[in-house]
Structure 1
Amino acid sequence: MKLLKYIFISICGICLLLLLSCSSDHAADNNSTLASKTLNIESKIISPDIAQSSSEPENHSDNNLENKSENNSINESSTDPSDKQQETTKHELPEQHEEDVVQTEIDLRKLADYKYIAITFDDGPIPGNEEKLLELFSQYKGHATFFYNGFKIERCPEILNKVLEQGSELGNHTYNHCNLNTVNAEQTMAEVEDLNDLIENITGTVPVFVRPPFGEYNQLTLDTLPYPLVMWSQDTRDWETLDVDCIRDKILDVSPGSIILCHSPINETILAVEQALPILYEQGYRFVTLSNLFEIYEVEPKAHQVFWHLSTPFTD
């Protein structure tokens, strides 16, 4: 009987120990779960500074920004239409240097070594032809001098300001394209001054130079007109040949200081000029107005004198 009692007590003790052991394991599991949840919550409440440093590579944030900036700069430069236009312009137009631009402020003696010529056009204006010539000279950063007649200006006065806006120059070719060898002093003055008045009323400027029609003048002409007479050193004779190749070759046969005579109403002349300008430009020639040519070669355009080529001016 005592033995049975002892066995019963032992079994109860073992059961109690097992029960206590299970309770301890469950509590440990609960503590572990709670600790895990607490860790997860704490990881979400990290300070902003720590979070930023942990989410970005160390010591690379500035480099990334610089690389992005450089990439953006490259992309912008490669897609900017203005840059493409500038690049195209460099290939399509002749190269322009600062020394090519004639300015009154520069030391003119330093320009003596450059090849400057004045291309002049008589007997205009003719609508269409003048605009085409201005466009051609603009392509080569050049200018010309246009000797117009008054009766033709009356038909298209708007062209005069186009010439001046482009940077080219107006000259006096008499009002009615009159042969000055055949008129007296009073008529000579009227032919020139009436045209000057017309040009001044339209543009606010007065031409500096006079070119007598047909190249005809006499001592009376020189004594009467208070202006320099400008002739030419190279006559294209475009009015006679009406041949593009002949006119072009005449234009190309020049030297520094040359004054070239053309006629803007002749369509073949426009085509010849279009062919000649790029060739002359490649040879180092630059196209300037008569006024600029006189400045460059330091020649004073005195009244009552005749000028054919600026390296050899003379008075009749």
Structure 2
Amino acid sequence: MSRALRAAAAVAALALLTGCAASTAADEPAGETVTIATNLGPADVALLPERVAVLDSTAMETVRDMGITPVAAPLALIPERGFEAWHTDAAIADVGTHREPDFEALAAAEPDLIIGGYRFSDAQDELEGIAPTIDIAASEEHADGWIASLEAQTSALGQIFQAEDEAEDIIAALEQARGEANAAAPESTVFLGVVSGGQIDNGAQRVGRIIEGMSITDVFAGDEGDVHGDSGLSAETIAQANPEWAIILDRDAGTGETDAQPALAVIEGNEALANTAFVTEGRIIVLEADFYRLEGAQSYTRTFQQLAEAFAQS
């Protein structure tokens, strides 16, 4: 079934589920709203929605930390650690993944608001057919960069859920960790890598956001890299550049590949990299396994803390 047909079926299912309640909704007074900036322009959003579907992975931890339990989420994309309550809650509908979204399950959950965007950005039209949908996902298109977009997202969620204090705490922790990492960063060189399927490649497309504003320099700056590790960068080319540091995204760990070799073992076992400065000096930072799945404000806070500690110990 095509996306369009699935979306139409989902809307029809929602109409059946809501029954006569839908016919009386127009007679009820409109609730209070707040206008927020989204990636698609300003949007008026009802305050304190009771039934929220959260699809955007970059918003997951913030929604959780604001005390919101969603009625629907892409559970396969959400790590177990930190989200045990969501994974064991039968009341949370599993809406599949961005590759095969279950629009029918989403409609059956009857959300008042869908937090879409990021991996689900291509499904915006279908989601809008089910319930009001906002795209406030972190974005590299933000005028001040990825981290600023995370802060804007956090502020917007704080307004919607009237959790401004929680939003301020999340942003403050992110700013503090980033400042500490920036202060500790050496005036040196780094390889921003991704390990996927046992292969080492240029991971600058995802990892590059971490060192924005730092004194440490990507040896392949300007080479975008590839999230899935197929840009064609060879280990010999990395060795020739001989960076002092390596910051590595272990994609296999992030996707839950249980039989995959850990990223650190892949790098340390590569003969071409044996004499590089980052291997011989032990200056390899492997990001937490859940970074690839989440990439939200809290993920970056933990990552900046990790970098600050590693840089300070060198």
- Using the size of structure 1 for normalisation, the TM-score is 0.22
Bigger radius of gyration: 1
- Choose between structure 1 and 2 for higher RCO, CA contacts under 8 A separated by at least 6 residues: 1
Higher strand share: 2
Higher helix share: 1
